[in-house]
A and B are shown apart, each in its own frame.
Chain A
Amino acid sequence: MAKKLDNKKILACCANGAGSSLMMENAIKKVLTRNGIKVAELRHAPISEGKTASRNYDVVFCAKTFVNTFEGVEASGTVLIPLKNVMSDKEIEAALAERGLLD
């Protein structure tokens, strides 16, 4: 059965695109595998790049600190998910479920 997040594009952002965004990407990967979801794209980027690129993604994850950077992105239909703990697959799973993106 097709999943809601199948073929979607997901972006994980942090300040440098070298630390926490990688951790987020790993944790997101765990959640997707566990739920049998096959996304079209999952990648990480620094805030500087992610800010403009975010419109091209269906879901954008970032550490809570950076949430202001993405102000307005949701107007273009992108789902923005700020995380308290960037390596917590449980938090990611709960956040997706809360937004009705897991099935």
Chain B
Amino acid sequence: MGVLEKIVETGNYSFIDGEGVTWQEAVRLSTLPMIKSGTVSEDYYKQIVACIEKYGPYVVFEHNIAMPHTQENATGALKTGIGFMASKKLIDFGEDEDGEKKEANVFFTLSSTNPDEHLDNISQLTEIFLNDPLIDALAKATSPEDILEAAKKYPCEE
């Protein structure tokens, strides 16, 4: 099973409008379904926020993709998993070290307790992040069916 199918199966997905939502709040919102599924604790998001505040928005990649995460076996990471969130509006993460604006509308929030499983997740996510039509479709998703349909329509090579 691919990571997108697994996200749907575990219920780790959410869809927001994003109007007026700060990046800190967006990170928290992305963990809500993960709390419900027992993947992370209620406080887990605070560590991610602290990390981004310390190092800057390096977790925001090209194509408005955010991958909020902390270290392996972080306190509050209860299972290895990925939380998907699509936001209608771009969430502002501020500027990077080059003064470039960082914004995201697709979130893949990570939790890791098992290095092998986590590595597999990262490898699959990399392929997804480089798959432009798939990311475009995921950004517009408003239901779990949309996620599955996008995965089917724009498969990754590996």
Chain A residues proximal to chain B, CB less than 8 Å: 14-20, 22-23, 26-27, 46, 63-66, 85-87
Contacts and interface: CB of A to CB of B under 8 A. Distances in A.
Interface string B47-69: 00001001110110110000101
Contact of A46 (B59, B62, B71, B112): B71
B98 interface: yes
B70 A65 contact: no
Given A65-B55, A65-B97, A86-B61, A16 B69 contact: yes
Contact of A27 (B59, B70, B125, B126): B126
A68 to B, nearest CB: 9
B126 to A, nearest CB: 5
A13 to B, nearest CB: 12
A15 B72 contact: no
Interface stretch (B4-12, B21-29, B115-123, B143-151): B115-123
Interface residues of B, number: 26
Given A23-B122, A65-B55, A65-B58, A18 B72 contact: yes
Contacts of B119: 22
A82 B55 CA distance: 15
Contacts of B54: 15
Contacts of A86: 61
26 contacts: A15-B54, A17-B72, A18-B69, A18-B70, A18-B71, A18-B110, A18-B112, A19-B67, A19-B110, A20-B67, A22-B119, A22-B122, A23-B126, A26-B122, A26-B126, A63-B58, A64-B96, A65-B55, A65-B56, A65-B97, A66-B58, A85-B61, A87-B61, A87-B126, A87-B129, A87-B130
A17 B71 contact: yes
A28 B122 CA distance: 14
A63 B130 CA distance: 17
